[in-house]
Amino acid sequence: MTTRTRILTGITTTGTPHLGNYAGAIRPAILASRDSNADSFYFLADYHALIKCDDPLRIQRSRLEIAATWLAGGLDVDRVTFYRQSDIPEIPELTWLLTCVAAKGLLNRAHAYKASVDKNVEAGEDPDAGITMGLYSYPVLMAADILMFNAHKVPVGRDQIQHVEMARDIGQRFNHLFGQGKEFFTMPEALIEESVATLPGLDGRKMSKSYDNTIPLFSSAKDMKDAISRIVTDSRAPGEAKDPDNSHLFTLFQAFATPAQSDEFRSELLQGLGWGEAKNRLFQLLDSELGESRERYHQLIERPADLEDILQLGAKKARAVATPFLNELREAVGLRSFVSQVQVATSTKKKVAKAARFVSFREGDGSFRFRLLAADGEQLVLSRNFADGKTAGQVTKQLQAGQPLDVRSDELSFSVWLDGACVADSPAFADSAARDAAIEALRVALTPVQD
């Protein structure tokens, strides 16, 4: 069976999406998500936004706008996991676990922190003036985003490569300290796509909210036309040949045009097309390319409750991965239940016995649950919720008793029943063969070893 590559991408929610965001990150990510070999996780990085912005209304509006942009751009939420960072409480908890193993010297070398320190020193200020722990610890939060879901590939700009490398360093340190031979975290790789466009803004610099030179992605046709009219060009008059390769306007056109359209536009510029008409051609292209998406975007903006439902479903999918994994990490570092781990089978003839472990824990609503892990640490089943710890303990004792198991399977999962009631469920498997192998592992784990 081919292993799917897990890809993770986040966008910070501090402003209105612009053409640069779309061409540089959103559009290529949506196209990549349609690959049958990709397991895509896309999120709104709203915890990261708090580092850069202290305007609650701006953050709230940006979250809404960016969520609507992804969906209007064609993201299929049935194919991907699409969520808000702040809806996954396991991420800040993992951030703390990673903070406790991250080297301060490593964080001292982070580019954003060093740049802020250098700026303060140049201005004659205290080196750490105005620098928050949010900015300083940003790489650890980003590491938690990536490692929480064991992403294989993380598409980033060149300025973010260091953060992916730091996530690797921190993950390796955790594995070394607590893995005991097991690799909890996959080592992520930065994915740099050279073909992805970095668009110039109205003034020729990189299009960025920081420079106030953006063209909003889904503004009205009139507002987009007005913005395009402000693109800086040279002073060559109509009839004079233009240089497409040094034209910011041509770069923008090329990012949204077909090769044939780009060739035709280049030829016309070389033949003396006036800048006014050239800007109108760019507007016509963008209006044609983005018109339908713009309409979907505004429909979504007017239905925030629908967006909320979509993101809550995405959070549920994400937490189905994050919650059991974090429980495993908590146990690894020693944050365990006081209920003794139960060794199901022992052998007086062998030092190492075939053993399974029941791991009990309490949910936020006060109910009790347990997980059954095989000898190799694989999760076999997760129990249903029990009102009290005593009931949960009685169920584990029954499972340990070696009685014939009542296992009921469906297409890609199975459940365990006692006395006519379902007490535990397996995770979903990729295919029926993997499901059957897990059922056999369950039976082995709960079969007493004979002398």
Distance from C-alpha of 330 to C-alpha of 337, rounded to nearest angstrom: 10
* Token pair belonging to 156: 């980033």
CB neighbours of 184 closer than 8 A, spacing ≥ 6? 171, 174, 175, 178, 328, 329, 332
Distance from C-alpha of 324 to C-alpha of 93, rounded to nearest angstrom: 13
Distances (CA, A) of 67 to 139, 308, 349, 418: 24, 9, 60, 44
Residue identified by tokens 């469906």 is 410
For the four alpha carbons of 237, 242, 243 and 247, in that order, the dihedral sign comes to positive
Distance from C-alpha of 295 to C-alpha of 440, rounded to nearest angstrom: 52
Per the annotation, binding residues for L-tryptophan are: 145
Buried b vs exposed e over 357-382: b needs ≥16 C-beta within 10 Å?
bbbbbeeeeeebbbbbbbbeeebbbb
Classify residue 347 as exposed, middle or buried by CB count within 10 Å of its CB (0-12, 13-18, 19+). middle
**C-beta separation of 398 from 420 below 8 A:** no
First to last CA, the chain: 38
**What one-character DSSP code corresponds to residue 339?**
S
**Which amino acid does the sequence have at 51?**
I
Classify residue 204 as exposed, middle or buried by CB count within 10 Å of its CB (0-12, 13-18, 19+). middle
Distance from C-alpha of 136 to C-alpha of 295, rounded to nearest angstrom: 40
Per the annotation, binding residues for ATP are: 12-14, 20-21, 157-159, 199, 206-210
Sheet strands side by side (includes 153-155): 81-84, 38-45, 5-12, 153-155, 189-191
**C-beta separation of 449 from 402 below 8 A:** no
**What one-character DSSP code corresponds to residue 22?**
I
Per the annotation, binding residues are: 12-14, 20-21, 145, 157-159, 199, 206-210
Residue 406's DSSP bridge partners are 417
Sheet strands side by side (includes 368-373): 357-362, 368-373, 379-383, 421-425, 414-418, 406-409
Classify residue 441 as exposed, middle or buried by CB count within 10 Å of its CB (0-12, 13-18, 19+). middle
